[in-house]
Structure 1
Amino acid sequence: MHNLNDDIQNCYKNLTGNIKKKMLEKGYNQEQLASLLGISQANLSKSLNPKNKKRFTLDQVIALSYIFECSVDELLGFITYSSSDISKYTVGAFLSQLLERNLAKVNEITKKEDAYIMEYNDYSPFPEPKHYPKKTVHYIAIYIPDYWPLPHKNEYDYEFELSNALEKGNCTPMYGVNDFLRKYCEINRNKDSLSEETYKAVINDLLNHLRFD
């Protein structure tokens, strides 16, 4: 059974972790940030500890988003992108977060592909495309496991994750995302048989199920 309390706890860990990162980026120490929030340094320190019962209020989270010049979603780890945001940097940042949090794994695959590569020669100052019919291409493949990954950092982390795995079964916090990707790929293969309106409606329905999973 899905445990909402676990999601809330993970969300708060994201929040406190992102606040600490933003503090480093902005050059704020705890005393300075506490002053901007209008609270004591002691209360700020307690709120930054996910294991402490002291929590940031909604008003304080909103204030932090103004202080750090970012969205509340970003602080909570729910990063959303518009089409103009999809750059090499944002894609790299998003994938690195998945890997850092052990929510995704990485492997290398090799394929033979037709490739056109711009190359210089001795007779022209301008590069020209050269065709490689069966070029060996190495890719880094990032995938989301369907099993519970167990860390090996220390005995405590291992035992904690193992107990969660035994209690909740063969799933990860990203299981719903993997399920979404499988359905998305299946729909995308049949995209040409659907109208654009129907295609968007089906994808939005999948995303909405993922939002409330």
Structure 2
Amino acid sequence: MITLGTLVVALDLLGTFVFGLSGGTVAVRRGLDIFGVLVLAGAAALAGGVVRDVLLGATPPAALDDRRYLLVALGAALTAFLFHPVVNRLLKPVMVLDALGLGLFAVTGCRKALEHGLDPLASVLLGVLSAVGGGALRDLLVTEVPRVLREEIYALAALVGAAVVVAGQGLGLAEGPVLIAGVVAASGLRIVSVLRNWSAPRSPWS
């Protein structure tokens, strides 16, 4: 039987892998060498979790304290480097992987914040931060404007996923299904918003 703790770690590791794969895929598309792929995949996979843990005072961060995170990030980088044509067959691979990573990190980040005693609003914000951190660093390293700063619905999707976790706890619902629902809500909103060209509101003066 899968325990809640096992599920949370599994979701965190899965988020690490898919964000690492998204970073590695971007690196391969940009023509970077193996070192560049490792750096970009590692940044995308681990940055959000490191920021989350440091802000919570959970040091050393899980990414450095638990070798599984580094190994998963390394595996994602090598997968992107060696099997890029296979990964590239997915529908809009970077966007799909990024959306899944966004949802996974939003819910695990929010849950970890709640576990450390933060109030619901702060927990949601930390969930969003941990979800967008890795992708933002990945984009900056290849001199792109981070998705979180564009018109696309990105941080808003992470906020929805984290809010599902907070609402589920407030209603006393079973945590496992709530975490899964949060991932689905955040990832689904992100993917649908891209496919339908939804965007966050802009100032009328911009």
Alignment TM-score, normalising by the size of structure 1: 0.26
Structure number with larger C-alpha Rg: 1
Alignment TM-score, normalising by the size of structure 2: 0.27
